[in-house]
Structure 1
Amino acid sequence: MNKRKLGSSDLYVSELSLGCMSLGKDKAKAKSIIDHALEAGINYLDTADLYDFGTNEEIVGEAIQGRREDLIIGTKAGNKFRQGEKDWSWDPSKAHIKTAVKESLKRLKTDYIDLYQLHGGTIDDPIDETIEAFEELKQEGLIREYGISSIRPNVIREYVKKSSIVSVMMQYNALDRRPEEEILDLLKDNQISILARGPLAKGMLTSNGYQVAQNKAKDGFLDYSYEEILAITEKWQSFESDARPASALALQYILHNQTVASAVFGASSLEQLNDNLSYLDADPLPKHLSDAIQSLTKAITYDKHR
């Protein structure tokens, strides 16, 4: 699998990466999905301390034993909770981040994190203090690089201006093209990569996307009405071919932009994983099809989450 440089760092992540939130709590099943992903060439695993309140990190930590040096591990912090309790509060303070990283290291059974990310954030946060925490963790060797997970343009701009982040994780897919309007050029100009989460738009850009949309988009999706989503997903399925399955097309669309380092997808089964891995054997995305996708969908902008 091809790898792309993560921002200005010396980390190279696979074009496809596994978002671990959907793995569930069955350790054997989760390990089989991780094993298969790694065998296919995926080298980046993305988790967070909040996923299943620490359990997800523990599952990832067990699964990577014996091959840690070959992998890029990303996790996130900023949500304060007690393991075993289903409640949390937002806390981007330096004190919390420097405590949270130690807990994540224990759960992941490692002595360093490749990419540590702020799991959210608002413009009212103590941003300078948060940045100071991440910079100190880099100096201490507990993390290699840091980034943020956010879709708030104003927050992203502050971190671009003030910090040495190497990545921004944000939702980006053919239905949610908001990053194209405000974020992609800014990050490209500052040598910062996007880790694109939600590349399949909740499953609406897969082979059974029309059926998924009927169940999941009854209230619409972003600026699209229910009727628009049904029309788009029906047309999307007509783009599918033996040489380019629908999921592969969705992944190709966002990865055609080099500012995107990796498409981070979730998988709760080997079937879902293999569907996404069809990207590896798909014919290249021709320009006329990329143009058709842009004509079919909307170049929407962020009207919330400023």
Structure 2
Amino acid sequence: MNKRQLGKSDLYLSEISLGCMNLGTEESKAKDIIDRALDAGINYLDTADLYDFGENEKVVGKAIKHRREDIILGTKVGNHFDKEKEDWHWDPSKEHIKNGVKDSLQRLQTDYIDLYQLHGGTIDDNIGETLEAFEDLKQDGLIREYGISSIRPNVIREYVERSSMVSVMMQYNMLDRRPEEEILDLLHNNNISVLARGPLAKGMLSNKGAKVAEAKAKDGFLDYSYEEMLALTEKLEDYGNEARTLNALALQYVLHHPAVATAVFGASSLEQVEDNLSFLEAAPLTEQIYGEIQALTSPITYQKHR
């Protein structure tokens, strides 16, 4: 598995990585999924304190306890949640971040987090206070690096100018090409890496894409209508062949831009892991196919999320 440097850090992430949000709470099943990913060469696992109100971190922590040294572990903070009420509110304060890291470390059964990420953010936040918290945690050795998880261009620009973050996690795929317009080059020029989440667009860019789109895109997807989604996913399925599966193509597409360090796919079953591991056997993505994909899809831009 090829690895890419995360920003200016000494962390090198596998080109594809496992997002843990959909692992579920059945520990043995989750461990099987994680072990298969790690055995295939994946070294980055991504979770968040909010997922299942802390339970996801616990599941991940138990699954990786025996091989922590093999893993680059990422989690997120910023949502002050009440597990009993299953409710939460946004809280990027220094106090919450410093309390949050202690709770995450305990749930993950580790004494450090490789990549600690702010799980959201708005332009109205006290960004200076948030950055002080992350810098303090890095100084204390509780985290190795920090980043943000955001799709808001104006927020991302603030952090680019004011922080020493190494990464931005954002949704990016063949259907959601918004980052291409104003984010990817900005981050690449500042040596900040992208963790591309949702590379398969909820499964609509998987080997079963057309069928998934039929079920999940009743109200359309972003600027695409339902009819456009059905037609587009059918056309994209034609690219799934012996040279590469559609899963592999979806992962290759986001990794084409040099800003992207890793494509973070989710999995709730071993079958889904295997589908995405087809990436390892895929023929290289040619500029011709990349251009054809861009011609088929729409280069939409950020409107509401600024």
Q: Normalized against structure 2, the TM-score is what? A: 0.99
Query: Is 1:175 matched up with 2:175?
Result: yes
String of CA shifts for 1:231-261, please: whole Å, max 9, x gaps: 1101001111112001001001111112100
Post-superposition CA distance 1:196-223 (Å, at most 9, x none) = 0000011111111111111111111111
1:50-199 matches, within 5 Å, as 50-199=50-199
Conserved in 2, the CA contact under 8 Å of 1:243 and 1:282? Answer: yes
Q: 1:210 maps to which residue?
A: 210
Q: Give the SS at the match of 2:137.
A: helix
Measure how far apart 1:60 and its partner are. Answer: 0.7
- The alignment of Structure 1 onto Structure 2 pairs a total of residues equal to 306
Distance in 1, matches of 2:79 and 2:10, equals: 28
Say if 1:53 and 1:85, in contact at 8 Å, map to a contact too. Answer: no
CA deviations 1:110-152 (Å, max 9, x no partner) are: 0000000000010011111000100000000000000000000
- Hey, what does 2:220 align to over in structure 1? 220
1:305 to 2:295 alignment:
no
Deviation at 1:83, TM superposition (A): 3.5
Distance of 1:259 and 1:170 partners within structure 2: 12
Q: Which residue of 2 aligns with 1:243?
A: 243
2:285 aligned with 1:285, yes or no?
yes
Distance in 1 separating the partners of 2:80 and 2:201? 28
For residue 128 of structure 1, give the secondary structure of its aligned residue in structure 2.
helix
Could you tell me how far 1:225 is from its partner in structure 2?
1.0
Structure 2 spans left out of the alignment, 5+ residues: none
1:6-17 equivalences in 2 (<5 Å):
6-17=6-17
- Rounded Cα–Cα distance in structure 1 between residues aligned with 2:3 and 2:82: 36
**CA distance in structure 2 between the aligned counterparts of 1:305 and 1:155, rounded to whole angstroms:** 10
Cα distance between partner residues in 2 of 1:108 and 1:2 = 26
Question: Amino acid of the residue matched to residue 275 of structure 1?
Answer: D
| 3-state SS in 2 of match to 1:234 | helix
Q: Where do 5+ consecutive residues of structure 1 fail to align?
A: none
CA displacement, residues 81-108 of structure 1 (integer Å, 9 cap, x when unaligned):
1344411111000000000000000000
Map of 1:30 onto structure 2? 30
Q: Which runs of 4+ in 1 moved over 4 A?
A: none
Instruction: Give how far 1:228 is off.
Output: 1.1
Equivalent residue letter for 1:120: G
Deviation at 1:66, TM superposition (A): 2.3
In structure 2, the partner of 1:21 is 21
SS at match of 2:214: helix
More off after superposition, 82-91 vs 107-116 = 82-91
Q: Secondary structure at the match of 1:242?
A: coil
Letter in structure 1 aligned against 2:175: L
d(CA) in 1 for partners of 2:97, 2:87 = 18
**SS at the partner of 1:22?**
coil
Shift of 1:32: 0.4
Distance 1:85 1:147 in 2: 29
Which residue number in structure 1 is paired with residue 269 of structure 2?
269
CA distance in 2, matches of 1:61, 1:130: 26
Across the aligned residues of Structure 1 and Structure 2, the Cα RMSD in angstroms comes to: 0.7
One-letter code aligned to 1:95: E
Given residue 87 of structure 1, which amino acid in structure 2 is its aligned partner? D
Identity %: 72
Q: Is the 8 A contact 1:58 1:108 kept in 2?
A: yes
AA in 2 matched with 1:169: M
Distance 1:7 1:85 in 2: 38
The separation in 2 between residues aligned to 1:115 and 1:207, in whole angstroms, is 31
